[in-house]
Structure 1
Amino acid sequence: MGPTRKRDLAAAVVAAAVLGYLLVRATYRYFPPITVWTGMSLLGVAIGLAGWGFYVRARIRDAEIGVGRGRLHPLAVARSVLIAKASAWMGAVVLGWWLAVSAYVLPRRGTLRVAAADSPGAMIAGLCALALVVAALWLQHCCRSPDDAPPDADPAPG
């Protein structure tokens, strides 16, 4: 299992945004109100992932220099990578969705009162989805072994 590529996540964001915009355009009148609290659960998950990333990074660094409570179990690190990858993909899809909703409601703020009320919530939800993607990529980065070379590094320079 390799690291999640940012270009693949960007493609997922674009695909979800395009499909989401078509869906929003067809069904916006049936949407419930979008409040500023709508996407805040994503921020909670992002904070949890980032905190776990700092913990994993500290434990790996402590084990490398021989201090602290020792190493993390390899399965715990593998599960963390799996959670990070899944969270990055889900965050990318949800980010695409909220970009689609924002792209629909922002130009209509002056003509639709509902769109004006939904705009702040859609933008905040999009930012929270972006925070989820960033936190997931951070956790994935923190799970790398200190012996791992960056994936683009040349093993035999010269």
Structure 2
Amino acid sequence: MHFTRPRELLIAAVIGFGLIFFVFQVAYGSLPRLPTFAGVTLAILAVVEGALAFVVRNMIRTGKVITGVWIARAVALAKASSLLGALMLGAWLAGVVYLAPRSNDITAAADDLPAAVVGAVCAGVLIGAALWLEHCCRAPDLRDRDRDRRTTG
């Protein structure tokens, strides 16, 4: 398994943007109102992954034993979350791009715009937390281990 590449995230974001922008163009009038805090679930996942990243980093730095399976699961979670975050970022940005120009003329668009902005921000936070978790799961270089020993010993 390789670490997440920026192009993978970009492709996921473009797919999310394209699909949702098409849905907005075709069916916005028949969609229910977007809940303002619908995207907050992504931020909650980001907080959990951020906390997990600090735990993993601390365990690796202190030399505690971590099984390879445990790290592999954390990396898989991070990869899946960063791709989900990119897909949702594209989807929420499609909402922003569709709703922002219409918010002055259509009351429903003005009401839905904050939800799209909150969702986009939360998706971005999830991407950042997932990439941080993935980074923390990397095996430290020998130079990093030597530097950590000098600062703690």
Global fold match (TM > 0.5):
yes
TM-score by length of 2: 0.89
Amino acid at match of 1:6: P
Amino acid at match of 1:96: G
Q: Which runs of 4+ in 1 moved over 4 A?
A: none
Q: 2:88 aligns with which of 83, 94, 98?
A: 94
Deviations 1:91-122 (A, max 9, x none): 11111111111111110001100000111111
Deviations 1:34-91 (A, max 9, x none): 232111111000110011001100100000xxxxxx2222111110000000111111
Confirm whether residue 133 of structure 1 aligns to residue 127 of structure 2.
Answer: yes
Which residue of structure 1 lines up, in the alignment, with residue 140 of structure 2?
146
TM-score by length of 1: 0.86
How far does residue 148 in structure 1 lie from its aligned partner after superposition? Answer: 8.2
Which residue of structure 2 lines up, in the alignment, with residue 18 of structure 1?
18
Which residue of structure 1 lines up, in the alignment, with residue 79 of structure 2?
85
Which residue of structure 2 lines up, in the alignment, with residue 7 of structure 1?
7
Write the distance in 2 (CA, Å) between the matches of 1:117 and 1:94: 20
Instruction: Compute the RMSD of aligned alpha carbons.
Output: 1.4
How many residues get paired? 143
Larger CA deviation: 29-38 vs 135-144: 29-38
Please state which structure has a larger fraction of its residues in helix. 2
Structure 1 regions of 5+ residues with no counterpart? 64-69, 150-158
Q: 1:108 aligns with which of 102, 107, 110?
A: 102
Write the distance in 2 (CA, Å) between the matches of 1:141 and 1:148: 16
Task: Please give the secondary structure, in 1, of the residue aligned with 2:77.
Answer: helix
Q: Is the 8 A contact 1:35 1:120 kept in 2?
A: no
Write the distance in 2 (CA, Å) between the matches of 1:81 and 1:10: 19
Which residue of structure 2 lines up, in the alignment, with residue 42 of structure 1?
42
Write the distance in 2 (CA, Å) between the matches of 1:62 and 1:83: 23
Amino acid at match of 1:31: L
How far does residue 136 in structure 1 lie from its aligned partner after superposition? Answer: 0.7
Write the distance in 2 (CA, Å) between the matches of 1:148 and 1:22: 50
Task: Please give the secondary structure, in 2, of the residue aligned with 1:34.
Answer: coil
How far does residue 10 in structure 1 lie from its aligned partner after superposition? Answer: 1.2
Write the distance in 2 (CA, Å) between the matches of 1:48 and 1:22: 32
% identical equivalent positions: 38
How far does residue 28 in structure 1 lie from its aligned partner after superposition? Answer: 1.0
